[in-house]
Amino acid sequence: MSDFSIKCEPVADAPLPVQNEQPKEPTFALPPAEPVMEAVEGIRFDFNHGLRVRFPETGEYRCVFKDLDTDCLLYSMDVKPGCTVESVKKFFIRFGLEVYRKEDLREPVFKHDLDLAGKEVLIQLPVGALGDTIAWFSFVERFQQKHDCKLSCSMAPEIADLFRAQYPDIEFVTKDEAAKLSPYATYNLGLFFGGNTDHQPFDFRQVGLHRTAGHILGLDDITDILPRVDLSAERKIKEKYVVIAAQASSQCKYWNHPSGWREVVAYLKSQGYRVLCVDRMTEYGTDYTWNHIPYGAEDFTGDRPLQERIDLLKDADMFIGLSSGLSWLAWCCNVPVVLISGFTDPVNEFATPYRVQNATVCHGCWNDTRCDFNHFDFLWCPRKKEARDKFECTKAITPKMVIDQIRKIQEKNHAD
């Protein structure tokens, strides 16, 4: 019972809450105001915000929700006229719905089992998160193939442009376009913080950034699959080269060793590589903490189209980066990725044999369910906020540790 709530119309003279500040824009397009599917006797339902059922202003009914896969009764209650009954759980559940007249509970007047085959379905991904979108997208295709549904997918237009030609069976839409749709079902992919298990079946910190999407969509196959992108462009640089990305959205994501990048770039250049930095910005930070393009790297930074970055990444001997979006982009280009991260555990990202982490010091706070990430604190370091060894998770990743992984790739490339 605690997993579900009944939403009724407010009393006509109920005072509105005082807004002390501008409300935040919703991350996802809101579902249609009314459930889109017609049942019987003025009852309407859909699966656009969990299972939701709207009852008419006249008549009294009993509403029953079931989980068809577990054969569990989830909810059974008499409802008042005009009520909307809505499941709290918003991730994929194969719901069964039964509606009875209150005066006759022997046979339902309406019964419906969720079936996505041939139906209009919307999957929404947050706008502005490159790594998250790449991490989640292969699960979107797997969902469409499993259920044989007519799938629309909402995401940032610049990322949709990477996928559109590769996935003709998926309709790509913007957030504004998604708001105008009237699908049978909607599922929202995201990282839901604070231990939220209403929008995700498992805390994402325990299952990993990308695999949480598979769990939200109820998929059994949550293995790593590279999203398809266009890798057909001709090679642009004749010399052998390595691509790096040193910037991130939070200081805990950076490689905080004082001479790390300088020594790695120097090593790569001693091996005859050109070293190209493809970050969006040459410097980023706040207050007295600023991070600059690594000394000795060639400046390929700028707000470049993502396809232009792919055209550069795909022919690199390797990519060296952080737990950030460009590492995910390099991964889907099938380039060897040296991934430097201390604040995440290995479960968080795609599998790479060239991951660099020092487990002998404080690490893995992002995946620690006792630590809630603060998006507004650029210097977030939950366990050592005021300590001298703040960010020791990556301060203790030495240049040697990274160069050792680079040498493994060099040896493999030489053997091939």
The answer as to whether 225 is a domain residue is no
Q: How does pLDDT run across 250-291, given as a tens digit for each residue?
A: 999 999 999 999 999 999 999 999 999 999 999 999 998 999
> Residue with structure tokens 């059974």?
76
Alpha-carbon distance of 93 to 46, in angstroms, equals 13
Task: Please give the single-letter amino acid code of residue 159.
Answer: I
Percentage of residues of the chain with pLDDT beyond 70: 94
- The verdict on residue 19 lying in a domain is no
Average pLDDT over residues 314-323: 98
- Sequence-separated (6 or more) residues with CB below 8 Å from residue 10: none
Identify residue 339 by its one-letter amino acid code. L
Full residue range of the structural domain in which residue 30 is found: 4-9+26-113
Please give the distance of CA 288 from its chain centroid, rounded to a whole number: 31
Full DSSP string of 86-155:
EES--S---EEEEEEETTB-SS-SEEEE---TT-EEEEE--TT-HHHHHHHHHHHHHHHHHHT-EEEEE-
* Residue 231 domain flag: no
State residue 19's pLDDT score.
43
**Residue given tokens 């501008």 in the structure block:** 22
Residue at 228 is within a domain: no
Are 108 and 129 in the same domain? Answer: no
* Same domain, residue pair 207 and 270: no
Which among 71, 98, 113 is the end of a domain? Answer: 113
Is there a single domain that holds both residue 90 and residue 166? no
Q: How many CB atoms lie within 10 A of CB 395?
A: 17
Looking at residue 18, what is its pLDDT?
42
Q: In the predicted model, what is the mean pLDDT of residues 329-344?
A: 98
Per DSSP, 315 falls in state: T
DSSP state of 211: H
Does 17 have pLDDT greater than 90?
no
Q: What is the pLDDT of residues 45-72, one digit of tens each?
A: 999 999 999 999 999 999 999 999 999 9
The CA distances from residue 92 to 111, 299, 326, 375, in Å, are 19, 45, 29, 27
Question: Do 318 and 201 share a domain, yes or no?
Answer: no
Q: 3-class DSSP state for residue 241?
A: strand
Cα(178)–Cα(395) distance, rounded to whole angstroms? 43
* Domain match, 166 and 297 both: no
- Residue 376 burial class via C-beta count within 10 angstroms: exposed 0-12, middle 13-18, buried 19 and up: exposed
The CATH number linked to 398 is 3.40.50.2000
Convert the pLDDT of each residue in 154-166 to its tens digit.
Answer: 999 999 999 999 9
Residue 32: which H helix or E strand, with range?
A: none
Residue 4: the pLDDT is 42
Domain count, the chain: 3
Quick check: 14 pLDDT over 50? no
DSSP annotation of 406 reads: H
pLDDT of residue 86: 96
| Contacts of residue 180, Cβ cutoff 8 Å, sequence gap at least 6 | none
Tell me, yes or no, whether 190 and 272 share the same domain: no
Q: Is residue 160 part of a domain?
A: yes
Residue 82 and residue 162 share a domain: no
Say yes or no to pLDDT of 366 above 90: yes
In a domain, 197, yes or no: yes
Averaged pLDDT, 166-182: 97
Output 404-411 pairs: Cβ under 8 A, ≥24 positions apart: 405/338, 405/354, 405/355, 405/356, 406/264, 406/267, 406/268, 406/318, 406/320, 406/338, 408/353, 408/354, 409/317, 409/318, 409/336, 409/338, 409/354, 410/271, 410/317
Burial of 366 (0-12, 13-18, 19+ CB in 10 A): buried
Q: How far is CA 14 from each of CA 8, 17, 20, 388, rounded to the nearest angstrom?
A: 13, 9, 18, 53
Catalytic residue among 132, 311, 315, 345: 132
Mean pLDDT of 334-348: 97
- Band of pLDDT at residue 1, cut at 50, 70 and 90: very low
Q: Report whether pLDDT(337) > 70.
A: yes
Say what the pLDDT of residue 22 is. Answer: 55
Residue 24: band (very low, low, confident or very high) from pLDDT cuts 50, 70, 90 = confident
Query: Residues 352-371: what's their mean pLDDT?
Result: 97
Element (H, E) at 64: strand 61-67
Whether residue 243 contacts residue 312, with contact meaning beta carbons closer than 8 Å, is answered with yes
Residue 202 shares a structural domain with residue 280: no
Average model confidence (pLDDT) for the chain? 93
How much is the pLDDT for 23? 57
Please report, rounded to a whole number, the percentage of residues in the chain having pLDDT higher than 90: 89
Which of 6-10, 140-144, 313-317, 386-390 is predicted least confidently? Answer: 6-10
pLDDT tens digits, 204-233? 999 999 999 999 999 998 999 999 999 999
Q: Which residues contact 78 (CB under 8 A, 6 or more apart)?
A: 60, 61, 62, 102
Tell me if residue 132 is catalytic: yes
136 and 80 in one domain? no
